[in-house]
Amino acid sequence: MDKKLEGILDILGKLNLSINIVNKEDLDEQYGNLEDFRTLTRDLDILLNNFNSVDKNDGDEVEKMLFEIHRIITTFEWHLSEISDLNTTILKVYKDKIKNA
């Protein structure tokens, strides 16, 4: 998934070259966030691989696992939202900008 997000950022960066509406720093920040996304993906892999070792009769242990799942999901959502915001910014103005260029 991280490679697909990187591909989206590559597309947005190329489109932005002709309209220059998104700051380069904003795009660079999202590229930097990809490493955090990769770490998050590894965290989820570990959690999923360790599920069978969780004592399902230990409410505290299950709750801890579920909170970790929640943290990972909401952080994935944040990463996707950040890239979506860049996409929306370009989407709103791209057609008009290239017509007027």
pLDDT of residue 89: 96
What token pair was written down for 85?
A: 């915001």
pLDDT of residue 100: 81
pLDDT of residue 97: 87
Q: What is the largest CA-CA distance in the chain?
A: 65
Residue found by looking up tokens 């360790």 in the block: 50
pLDDT of residue 98: 87
pLDDT, averaged in runs of 10, over the chain (101 residues): 95 94 95 96 96 96 97 97 97 90 68
What token pair was written down for 91?
A: 């989407």
pLDDT of residue 54: 95
